[in-house]
Structure 1
């Protein structure tokens, strides 16, 4: 868990607000009885998690693919090859949705807008050195040329909900 107390409070507010403004149908599935709070969520999501990432083509067609996701500071961070279609989609249309699903035991669903963390031209994210250090612990020191071979995105969520029926509270 890397989240600060302020980040945990912000994540809890996001989770509470997202569920409260969800449809009746979703609230009939996800309730306070089968979800987790922000602190528990950050514990569960430690390490690399496979995400289903949804992007949109220039003609408005949806596309879905898998990426390695890292839940850091209450937000999803993920990367892909610079030449991947999803990298082009996100650069042009930064709205995205991700889902992390583990059978019927856990579902984390997030909608938001991405920022590019390591652009070739322009400023890098302030926390880029911390992020690269994290990635190197997962993938190894020389897995990639971190500045040119891959592009990383941070999803700034405006909606997030968690289905976790059997997780300890």
Structure 2
């Protein structure tokens, strides 16, 4: 768990606010079948496969898979600079992601992406720590980290979790 107490508080507030402003239908499914922020960050360690949805210039949705890393209460993911999703996100920096583990866990997030790109020169102050994490995870020689790949942080404005059997997931 890499989250600070403040980050856990922010994540819990986001989860609570997202559920409270969801439809009656969604609340009826999730309300008693969800996780706390602390439970969620304990589960979302390492690489989590995400279904990433972006939007084309014509407004058409596109979905693809990415390696997701849940760090500091936010999803982080990367792709090749030449990927269609990289062009979509550069032009329209909004995205939705879903991480599902069968019928036992679903994490659904909508937000705005922040490009974590060494080539832009406009790096987040925590980029050195994130880059260290990614190099440790994938291997320092896995990519030309400055030129081949671009990373994103999804800043969520809505996130909800479906977990019908929290005890099995969390061991609580």
Scaled by the length of structure 1, the TM-score of the pair is: 0.97
Determine the structure 1 residue equivalent to 2:4: 4
The equivalences for 1:37-52 within 5 A come to 37-52=36-51
Determine the structure 2 residue equivalent to 1:163: 162
Determine the structure 2 residue equivalent to 1:26: 26
SS at match of 1:40: helix
Count of aligned residue pairs for this structure pair: 168
Name stretches of at least 5 consecutive residues in structure 1 with no aligned partner.
none
Name stretches of at least 5 consecutive residues in structure 2 with no aligned partner.
none
SS at match of 2:132: helix
**1:29-56 deviations in Å (ceiling 9; x for gaps):** 101x211100010000011000000000
Deviation of 1:125 (Å)? 1.3
Deviation of 1:120 (Å)? 1.0
CA distance in 1, matches of 2:120, 2:28: 46
Q: Does 1:103 align with 2:102?
A: yes
Deviation of 1:126 (Å)? 0.8
CA distance in 2, matches of 1:7, 1:115: 17
SS at match of 1:34: coil
The CA RMSD measured in Å over matched residues stands at: 0.9
Deviation of 1:121 (Å)? 2.4
